Amino acid sequence: MIDWTPYTTRAREWFETLRDSICAEFEAIESEAGDSAQFEYIPWNRDTEDGSDGGGGVRGVMKGKVFEKVGVNVSTVSGTFAPEFARTIHGAQDDPSFTATGISLVAHMANPHVPAVHMNTRFLTTGKAWFGGGADLNPPIPYQEDTETFHAAFRAACAKHNPTYYDRFKQWADDYFFIPHRNVARGVGGIFYDHLECENEAGWERNFAFTQDVGSTFLDIFPQLVRRRMNMPFTEAEKHRQREWRGRYVEFNLVYDRGTLFGLKTGGNIDAILMSLPPDVSWS
């Protein structure tokens, strides 16, 4: 039986390093736009029924001229799943204990021509150990150039590790980030993967390297798209289009998103869980 504790620590340290790099880059973009906005970091601890240490995390939020609202969260939690919920979690059917560490990011942009974005990567241990995550682009006003740039970056990242990854994980994103009751996709896709199992230490290193490249690719490509669009003029009609699109985003995250459900079911910080919700939204 492998003790995954030191591997969880390494993953957490990487997620924190990635967070710091992303936040610094986003603050630099705000500075370029003439704004002094910076991230506010709010630590939180996970409460447990028996008073044991359930871990916690840090919620980072910035509201600026370019980023109307962006949240970057890192958390490391552990505990025991409720029996009913354990049956829905990979590897938890026989042993409901778990550890989970990860980074989660959602950015809602002030300019409707700049795409919103979601990215998260995580490492979990239950009866099994695995990585999951991905990134997907969510433009209120899609530009084919941006979509192709985003996908090309992740296609190249996937190709470094496995020639089947991009096609598999793109399709997984297309299937997952879909709103059935609206019969529309949440955005223009990206990649999504889960249950990338670590059968041994070598498997962990392989999957960790891929997960690191997912984060690094996001850090490289998304700021390029922001700088490409952030100074474009926009109309009130385009801003209203953005608000209506955000309504679809809210519907997906509250009705279908597994990450939201995981956070709520494991006693996570409510503000951190719901940081994905946009600051200004309309359904009409």
Instruction: Enumerate the active-site residues.
Output: 118
Question: Rounded to whole angstroms, how far apart are CA atoms 101 and 121?
Answer: 9
Question: What dihedral do alpha carbons 138, 141, 145, 150 form, nearest 10°?
Answer: -10
3-class SS letters over 156-220:
HHHHCCCCCHHHHHHHHHHHHCEECCCCEECCCEEEEEEEEECCCHHHHHHHHHHHHHHHHHHHH
Whole-angstrom CA distances from 106 to 64, 89, 126, 259, 276 are: 14, 24, 26, 12, 5
